[in-house]
Amino acid sequence: MSDPQQCYDELLGLVRRASLLGSCGSVLGWDRETYMPPAGNEHRAEQLSLLAGVAHEWNVNPRIGELLDQLQDSELNDGHDSDSVVNIREIRRGYERARKLPQRLVEEMSRVTALAQHHWARARADSDFAAFSPWLRQIVELKREEAAAIGFADGGEPYDALLDEYEPGALSAEIASVFSALREELVPLLEDMSGAERRPDTSILERDYPVSKQKEFGREAASAIGFDFDCGRLDITTHPFCSGFGPGDCRLTTRYDQNFFSSAFFGTLHESGHGMYEQGLVREAFGTPLGTAVSLGIHESQSRMWENLVGRSPQFWQHFYGRAQQLFSESLSGVSQDEFVFAINAVSPSFIRVEADEVTYNLHIMLRFDLERDLISGRLQPEDVPTAWNERFTSDFGITPESDADGCLQDVHWSAGLFGYFPTYALGNMYAAQFFAAAKEQITDLEDQFARGEFAELLQWLREHIHQQGQRFPANRLVEVVTGSPLSNRPLMDQLSGRFRPLYGI
């Protein structure tokens, strides 16, 4: 028998090394979206495919399995949620998942999605679904192959296997049922709002907002809420994202629209929320489960909390509105703070998910969830996506996208192979509301702090209860540990009603 501590150290070393290699791929992925010249794409695809392939080789190194077996019954795997128990548990989960994926599939997926993303970007610019359709077909086939290789529990479906990558332990049927319950309460709220007499004047957000000042303001707000620019950057991409490269380096991106205030500003708060989670991970635990975010749903809870629960609150603007008026004096002169807050909280059906309001956003997700579930099950063919999208969109939102750029081509996810990712966005909204309700209970005068421009206590609370926990608890247990209750629609619906009923006077 080997010494358990030695086995454990060797195990962590192997896992850290693979994470470190993965983080090199993150740099190349970020560069591809931000600064890479157009003709660099093919070579970049080869680079990313190589890194993904090597990382996969390392992740399935049989030595990891041997070490896990040796540690299984050791004192290091004894007790509840201790550091070593957590690391052993999560490393085994990842190892067993990775072992089911053939090397060829991993490299092929990386290569194809790298190429597909540029074709998607072009197809989106030209609103030309036909140009993207063969790529979507290729990716769906690879994802179906992946789902089959990974497998799923009895009574489940192939989509479960994909979902598990982003929200470990979640099941399609359970999510469908949570979504359906949420939908039942959302639709009446939406109907009440659409019948309301009070309407926000959203045209004030569509005036002239010079990009340079938007940049300045976004950066100020991101710093104020706690994103550390010594350890990160903010750049411009078509599709905003956050990529944490590792300790001391987290990259955010956003996009600017001179004639729409909300896009970049709330996008920046959103990505900052992701970024602060990454910046709050335990530095020394980099590359191990304890230094890694627990799930995408939890990640999204952080971004949505800062974007919506903080960033669209009246209190936030009590502090920031003066500065906004100073920077955008022409567009905001004569606009009261209340009018502005109502405008940024306008609820109305719209085509673009990332710019959707807090209420309809969840319907955008449900649409995508259902469509991609059908793509993976084979019930929907890739070339039929535009029709299916537009039919469902019309039925849910009462409006029909005029182009696929505003419809099924709007998101980067499918071209990137991210099937099973979308539902985590709506889960994130629910987690966010539940965490925020707990924070409000535990921190007296929380929202008054926002009005004073103070955000450190909330960030500290999130650091302690969520960021620094890494993967100590699976997402569903983390919610219980932090809030005392299992995940529920209640806090989200309470929060939405609490904000929107008074605004709309219903």
Among the options 90, 107, 271, 358, which is catalytic? Answer: 271
In angstroms, the CA 45 to CA 100 distance is 23
* Residue 296 β-bridge partners: none
Is the four-CA dihedral 337, 341, 346, 352 of positive or negative sign?
positive
Contact (Cβ atoms closer than 8 angstroms) between residue 377 and residue 158: yes
Kindly report the backbone phi and psi dihedral angles of residue 399, in degrees, each rounded to the nearest multiple of 5, phi listed first: -135, 155
Our CB check for its own copies shows the closer of 20 and 131 to be 20
In angstroms, the CA 253 to CA 257 distance is 14
- Give Cα 31 distance to the centre of its chain: 19
Our CB check for its own copies shows the closer of 44 and 144 to be 44
Quick one: the chain helix, strand, coil %, rounded to 5?
Answer: 70, 5, 25
**If we measure between CA atoms, which residue out of 22, 21, 7 comes closest to residue 64?**
7
Instruction: Give the distance between the most distant pair of CA atoms in the chain.
Output: 77
Give the shortest CB-94-to-its own copies separation in angstroms: 19
**If we measure between CA atoms, which residue out of 280, 270, 266 comes closest to residue 228?**
280
CA dihedral 61, 62, 66, 71 (to 10 degrees): 40
Give the shortest CB-272-to-its own copies separation in angstroms: 14
Our CB check for its own copies shows the closer of 149 and 231 to be 231
User: How many alpha carbons fall within 13 Å on the CB side of residue 151?
Assistant: 7
Give the shortest CB-20-to-its own copies separation in angstroms: 5
| CB atoms near residue 415 (< 10 Å) | 25
Our CB check for its own copies shows the closer of 235 and 374 to be 235
Our CB check for its own copies shows the closer of 42 and 480 to be 42
Give the shortest CB-454-to-its own copies separation in angstroms: 24
Query: For residue 276, what are its two tokens?
Result: 């602060």
Our CB check for its own copies shows the closer of 28 and 149 to be 28
Give the shortest CB-469-to-its own copies separation in angstroms: 21
Give the shortest CB-327-to-its own copies separation in angstroms: 22
Q: How far is CA 454 from CA 277, 378, 461, in A?
A: 18, 50, 13
Q: Is 271 a catalytic residue?
A: yes
Q: Contact positions toward its own copies, by CB under 8 A?
A: 17, 20-21, 23-24, 27-28, 31, 35-44, 46-47, 50-51, 54, 228-233, 235, 245-249, 286
In angstroms, the CA 257 to CA 254 distance is 10
Which residues are known catalytic residues?
Answer: 271
